[in-house]
Amino acid sequence: MKKNIFILAILILCLGFYGYAEKAPKELKVFISVDMEGICGVIHWEEVSRNGKDYDLFRKLMTLETNAAIEGALEAGATEILVRDSHGSGRNILPELLHPAAQLIRDWSGGPLSMMEGIDSSYHAAIFIGYHAQANTPNAVLDHTMTGTIYDVTLNGKKMPETGINAFIAGNFNVPVILVAGDKAICSQAQELLGQVETVAVKEGIGNAAKMLHPEKALALIKEKTTAALKRIKDFKPFKLTPPYTIEVTFKDEERAENASWIPGAKRTGPTSVSFTSSDFMEVLRFFKFAR
């Protein structure tokens, strides 16, 4: 009798432990890349420049939008969050105001992952905050692609905003982009390129002007949509292209194209354009880093 009671007690303990294990939160690592031109309220280059009169205001709003994404991720069960400051100097987000649950990468190492530095295959989702449309997009706020010297970038024939280039990087680590926040133009480009992706349009370009949400409304939407996206994370797929990968960069002037054409493996494709092909995505990124 005592033996049977002992066995029954062991079974109850095992079942209890199994039930706990089933309910225990799984690991959920989230990578957040943050640019500045797409932050709510931003409309002029001066506002995203370290020498601009209102730069301190907008770097604070940049930090708050990042925090909104972090809070949304935590609400969805995120266990680890890494933030990559991806604008200009890489030293814009205010560390003391950043949510303490996240780690932050500041400045540039010089590596080819650039705005995605720190990501690897251990992450489950990528989020882009403060992003903007590709160069020469109508009714877009501060549209450009990486630098002011580039007119256009394509990957395997597809036009690439920074969202596309960075989603390509994430995809090569099997990490899906689940949310993009910025102006209406980049939200449209992200949906066209990535398909299933949550977006938050915090403003809408009107020529050189823009219609803005109130920053508090933008923060609430970013948090809400981040949580919603992570709760249906299985709906998102990494953005992948079929190798070999061909990147073509069209510059605004011929001199830069001539300089880039001397990179080993590069091919001049026009007066201001250069292409490079490889089945190794890191080689493509290295070319792009040195070409621009």
Q: What is the pLDDT of residues 195-207, one digit of tens each?
A: 989 999 999 999 9
Q: Do 229 and 179 meet the contact criterion of CB atoms below 8 Å apart?
A: yes
Do residue 127 and residue 258 come from a single domain?
A: no
Q: Is 11 helix (H, G, I), strand (E, B) or coil?
A: helix
- 221 and 254 both lie in a single domain: no
Q: Same domain, yes or no, for 75 and 216? A: yes
The CA-atom distances, in angstroms, between 120 and each of 23, 55, 168, 169, 187 are 27, 31, 13, 9, 25
Q: Is 132 a catalytic residue?
A: no
**134, 141 Cβ separation under 8 angstroms:** no
Same domain membership, residue 189 and residue 76: yes
- The pLDDT tens digits of the residues spanning 166-176 come to 999 999 999 99
10, part of any domain: no
For the segment 43-65, the average pLDDT, to the nearest whole number, is 98
Q: Which of 87, 99, 144, 214 is catalytic?
A: 144
Region for 146 from its dihedrals, namely left if φ exceeds 0, alpha if ψ lies in -120 to 50, beta otherwise: left
pLDDT in tens, 68-113: 999 999 999 999 999 999 999 999 999 999 999 999 999 999 999 9
Query: Who contacts 2 (Cβ-Cβ below 8 Å, separation ≥6)?
Result: none
pTM, full prediction: 0.91
Q: Which of 235, 261, 276 is the last residue in one of the domains?
A: 235
Residue 129 CA to residue 199 CA, distance in Å, equals 10
Domain co-membership, 223 together with 279: no
**CATH number, domain containing residue 34:** 3.40.50.10780
What range does the domain containing 267 cover? 245-291
93 belongs to a structural domain: yes
**What's the rounded mean pLDDT across residues 18-36?**
73
Which is it for strands 102-105 and 158-159: parallel, antiparallel or unpaired? unpaired
